[in-house]
Amino acid sequence: MVVAQPLEFGPALARDTALRVLVRMFTEGGIESAQTDGRVLLCAALGIDHANLIREPQSPLGKGAARVSSFAARRLRREPVSRIIGQREFWQARFKIGEGVLDPRPETETLVGAVLDHTARAAPRDSWRILDLGTGSGAILCSILQNLPGSFGVGVDISQAACAVARENLKALGLEGRGFIACGDWTEALSGRFDIIVSNPPYIESGAIAHLEPEVRDHDPPLALDGGDDGLAAYRRIIPALPDLLMPGGLIALELGVGQDRSVGKLLHAALGGSAEVKPDLHGNPRVALARLTLEEAS
């Protein structure tokens, strides 16, 4: 594959011309989302929205030209757009991301939707106690809290950098009074019981990481990807601790890697009793395992 070399975008270059150049460069560089990426990066570099780009296509790049050049070079090195602009749209909000956190994927919205479906079907209540293990940017925890007014949540992550980003996102969304971020190793040092426990743990097999797309392999933190030899190491840490952390009848919602639904289902059955329900993502892949703590296991 021949990668297009970035060029310097001059201040006098019109916006629509710059967009065409960006799209051509990204296409030649093997980037499938060239049109979308070009538009998003151009708007971010110039500090404008898409409507402004359409309304004033002939306006020159001006002082934003150097930033357009920088963004183009970074994307051609396969840095994800979300990392270049420092934020990701997820569920109903915009989240800051950084080097120390996993870039939230659209597939993870399946987990948020499954949890909110569960709360909508449950008996009406004023609040829920929520625990997010491996919270990363806090996108899952914040999305759930935004939709469950009055509820309180705890996010746990072993990465100090991730904890800092999650706290910033809680504050930016006005949720700092209903959320707490703790730095720790999964469930260690946790006490009390929660109504809902969620997690998007690392589930990529160690040997498969080198074969991932460069946007993931080279830019997501290894700690958030590496699930051990078979991809199940984190589940084996999390699931046995659940009976001591879930309220009787409480819900656990775990994101899954492709082909992991049966293995994770067996681990959940051994720890919680009953069987797990699996929710598919928009592509039809088994994506979220849901299980409840039975009264027998809670006693």
In tens, the pLDDT along 153-199 reads 999 999 999 999 999 999 999 999 999 999 999 998 788 899 999 99
Q: How far is CA 48 from each of CA 36, 110, 280, rounded to the nearest angstrom?
A: 15, 31, 36
Q: How far apart are CA 271 and CA 11, in angstroms?
A: 62
pLDDT at 290: 96
Q: How far is CA 153 from each of CA 131, 134, 170, 281, rounded to the nearest angstrom?
A: 6, 13, 11, 24
Pairing status of strand 129-133 against strand 194-199: parallel
DSSP string for 164-190: HHHHHHHHHTT-TTTEEEEE-STTTT-
pLDDT at 298: 52
pLDDT at 169: 96
Low-confidence ranges of the chain (pLDDT < 70): 1-7, 294-299
pLDDT at 299: 47
pLDDT at 2: 43
Q: Which residues pair with 14 in a beta bridge?
A: 60
Q: What pTM did the predictor assign?
A: 0.89
Q: How far apart are CA 95 and CA 170, in angstroms?
A: 9
pLDDT at 297: 54
Strands (E), 70-185: 87-90, 93-96, 129-133, 152-157, 179-183
pLDDT at 48: 93
pLDDT at 277: 94
Among the listed residues 257, 220, 219, 254, the one whose alpha carbon sits nearest the alpha carbon of residue 239: 254
Q: How far apart are CA 224 and CA 163, in angstroms?
A: 13
pLDDT at 100: 85
